[in-house]
Amino acid sequence: MKIGILGTGRVARTLGGGFSTRGHDVYLGSRDVIRVTSDTSGESSFNAWHASYPDVKLVTLKQAASEGDLVVNATDGPGSLSALREAGEDRFGSKVLIDVADPLDWSHGFPPSLTVCNADSLGEQIQRALPNVKVVKALNTVHNPIMVNPRLVGGGDHTTFLSGDDLAAKAYVAKLLRTEFGWEDVVDLGDIRTARGTEMMLLLWAELSAALQTPMFNLKLVR
């Protein structure tokens, strides 16, 4: 499968590496390919990461949106809408877009706040901006290594949530999370509006990261 991932940061790299390792063709889309590949800051640079995943293709946002059978928004939440606009609505057609971004504003330091919440969410904003796309909010409540390897925490015995208006798209994403990454408990919350719930959980997530002194945790839904 061809997977277009918007973004080249840590979340995009983790998802890109995860899908590539499992045999998919991954296209990582950047706003500025030259800048990304000019970074010589060492171990944390894109080039250093890319050396371990040479099969992943670095392309523009437009190309990543065009090439992917499935597209993932892994850009920084506050910049997601402008990145999607730059990719171009026509490139997405009626594809499934997995949105893993959180609208976290860290500009005032810790704790972060959300740039949108309560009566709206980033997931809903993206769905409104791309009305033909099937947006599925997913994986946005866990640290990125856990996204592609839930067994890193508690043997994988914890929960991830889906929000989206298209039932078939959610079923497809749920199956993908189970078969590709080993997620055991994938809970469908309802339509894209329910993304308010998982995005607003990020403040608890941030406080837990601080209290536990590690982001390597997750929550399990206990019925």
* Residues in region 36-75 near a second copy by CB under 8 A: none
- How many beta carbons lie within 10 A of that of residue 159, not counting itself? 17
Q: Count residues contacting a second copy (CB under 8 A)?
A: 41
* Of residues 14 and 160, the one with the C-beta less far from a second copy: 160
- Applying CB under 8 A, does 109 fall inside the site for a second copy? no
The Cα 203–Cα 192 span in angstroms is 20
Helices 80-87 & 122-129 angle (0-180, nearest 10) = 20
Cα distance between residue 30 and residue 75, in whole Å: 9
Q: Is 107 in the site for a second copy (CB under 8 A)?
A: no
Q: CA–CA distance from 217 to each of 19, 48, 143, 205, 206 (Å)?
A: 22, 27, 8, 9, 11
In the complex with a second copy, which residue's Cβ is closer, 9 or 197?
A: 197
Here's the x/- map for a second copy, 139-168, by CB under 8 A: it reads as: --------------xx--xxx-x-------
Which residues bind to a second copy, rule: CB under 8 A?
A: 111, 113-114, 117-119, 153-154, 157-159, 161, 187-190, 193-194, 196-198, 200-201, 203-208, 210-212, 214, 216-223
